Amino acid sequence: MVFNNVDFDTYFKDYPNKDGFFGKYGGVYVDDKLKAAMKEITEAYFSICQSRKFIAELRRIRTEFQGRPTPITHLERLSNSLGNVQIYAKREDLNHSGAHKLNHCMGEALLAKYMGKKKVIAETGAGQHGVALATAAAYFGLECDIYMGAVDIKKQAPNVARMKILGANVVEVTHGLATLKEAVDAAFEAYSKEYENCIYCIGSVLGPHPFPMMVRDFQSVVGIEAREQFMDMTGHLPDAIVACVGGGSNAAGLFAGFLNDPVDIYGIEPLGRGPKLGDHAASLKFGTEGIMHGFNSIMLKDKNGDPAPVYSVASGLDYPSSGPEHAFLQEIGRVKYDVIDDEETIDAFYKLSRLEGIIPAIESSHAVAYAMKMAKTMGHGSILVNLSGRGDKDMDYVIEHYGIR
Ligand SMILES: *Cc1c(COP(=O)(O)O)cnc(C)c1O
């Protein structure tokens, strides 16, 4: 299928190009030392990860450890409460450790092992990426340093405890505002000092090349499984697919299975409290082109051109940019990016819990809310939603701030 001059028959071979660009987005905007490290990872990725041995081992891990394939559930009661449109969910909440993040963490950690690295390094904000990477590191017997802002460490006590139980070393970052941005800086600094012994594991389709490509490829298992399962269940393709977008990894994974199909694709960003800068994290909708954290994409900027403060009820979505592939897919019009606010999200969180017995992550609830909204206006057809994670981590927060509904 050719769409706006992009040939989706050969898309995964063509995008990104060899310099890591999706159109004008992506690239490797880091200093020379880190450039060398990225080159090493890129070369290792193309040789090791395409080898039969690596693929077979990853496939075995996906089955025996992660519990894949995750099922698709027909959300019949939710669908019937809205009209005739049938909504289905790809159940990444049933992936080991409760979210899609382990899909790329296991891939990255396996690559580290094949490269002979002893340690994995990452930053974490809300702690979800840290927990997933600590899980992978424990499985492979790798050391694991997770950089985390002091403020976030206080806020995310259960995830800090999980990382420590799993044997990770949680490194407290105290300078500046002591949140995610400072943690990213500290982790990159540590990495450039010890990159011979370790690899940096980015938590989404973000950062310098090869990470947006590599994380997408590791996540594409979601879309490949989902397409086959959906066809088996219904005999046809879904009319639309929906995923929430923070950095964009669960979305990139689901979309990868359907980009070359006549399927409408929607990526949903958090509108938070509203469209004023600082009240949301809808970077693709309101942002402009710019470079941060080593790549060129669409981002939310403050007056000085620096990454703007962002907000969302879902801590996994509050990042001031999105992956370069999403910026590209928006630009060519293959994927439509839209927004859902906090209130609609909490409503969907409760609807899915009450009507289907599934407590979704607040991040995923954004995608569910959008599917619910679409179902009311579409009239007929089917929608597949990526349920990126389970909501256990969010229950206390929801009850404290929104009460039982
Ligand atoms: C981290 C997280 C997200 C957001 O990350 P993406 O890279 O945009 O997928 C979404 N859902 C859950 C459950 C998460 O933990």
Residue 10: φ, ψ to 5°:
-115, 20
For position 180, what pLDDT does the model report?
A: 84
Take atom 10 of ligand 1 and give the residue whose Cα is closest: 363
181, containing H or E segment: helix 180-194
Q: Is the CB of 364 under 6 A from ligand 1?
A: yes
Domains of the chain listed by start with CATH number: 22-62+101-211 (3.40.50.1100), 67-99+219-402 (3.40.50.1100)
Beta bridge partners of 297: 290
d(CA 15, CA 20): 8
Note down pLDDT in tens along the chain; length 405 residues: 999 999 999 999 999 999 999 999 999 999 999 999 999 999 999 999 999 999 999 999 999 999 999 999 999 999 999 999 999 999 999 999 999 999 999 999 999 999 999 999 999 988 999 999 999 999 999 999 999 999 899 988 999 999 999 999 999 999 988 888 889 889 999 999 999 999 999 999 999 999 999 999 999 999 999 999 999 999 999 999 999 999 999 999 999 999 999 999 999 999 999 999 999 999 999 999 999 999 999 999 999 999 999 999 998 998 999 999 999 999 999 999 999 999 999 999 999 999 999 999 999 999 999 999 999 999 999 999 999 999 999 999 999 999 999
For position 138, what pLDDT does the model report?
A: 98
Whole-number Å distance, alpha carbon 371 to ligand 1 midpoint, is 17
For position 182, what pLDDT does the model report?
A: 87
d(CA 337, CA 361): 20
Given a contact cutoff of 8 angstroms between Cβ atoms, the answer to whether 41 and 191 are in contact is: no
Given a contact cutoff of 8 angstroms between Cβ atoms, the answer to whether 298 and 321 are in contact is: yes
Q: Is the CB of 128 under 6 A from ligand 1?
A: yes
* Nearest atom of ligand 1 to the alpha carbon of 246: 8
Q: Is the CB of 104 under 6 A from ligand 1?
A: no
* Nearest atom of ligand 1 to the alpha carbon of 364: 11
Take atom 2 of ligand 1 and give the residue whose Cα is closest: 316
Whole-number Å distance, alpha carbon 6 to ligand 1 midpoint, is 27
d(CA 22, CA 154): 38
Write down the pTM of the prediction.
0.97
Q: Is the CB of 317 under 6 A from ligand 1?
A: yes
Whole-number Å distance, alpha carbon 317 to ligand 1 midpoint, is 7
Whole-number Å distance, alpha carbon 166 to ligand 1 midpoint, is 21
Question: Quick one: which of 110, 165, 155, 156 has its CA closest to 137?
Answer: 110
264, containing H or E segment: strand 264-272
Q: Which residues are catalytic?
A: 101, 123, 388
How many Å separate Cα 294 from the centre of its chain? 18
Residue type, 55: I
Given a contact cutoff of 8 angstroms between Cβ atoms, the answer to whether 270 and 367 are in contact is: no
Residue in this structure with the two tokens 């898309």, named with its chain if needed: 11
Mutate to test the pocket of ligand 1, among 205, 222, 317, 359 (most ligand atoms within 8 A of CB): 317
d(CA 293, CA 28): 9
Whole-number Å distance, alpha carbon 5 to ligand 1 midpoint, is 30
Question: Quick one: which of 387, 378, 388, 391 has its CA closest to 83?
Answer: 378
Take atom 5 of ligand 1 and give the residue whose Cα is closest: 246
Q: Is the CB of 107 under 6 A from ligand 1?
A: no
Structure confidence by residue, pLDDT tens digits, 108-144? 999 999 999 999 999 998 899 999 999 999 999 999 9
For position 108, what pLDDT does the model report?
A: 97
Q: Is the CB of 204 under 6 A from ligand 1?
A: yes
Q: Which residues contact 396 (CB under 8 A, 6 or more apart)?
A: none
For position 181, what pLDDT does the model report?
A: 81
Beta bridge partners of 301: 307
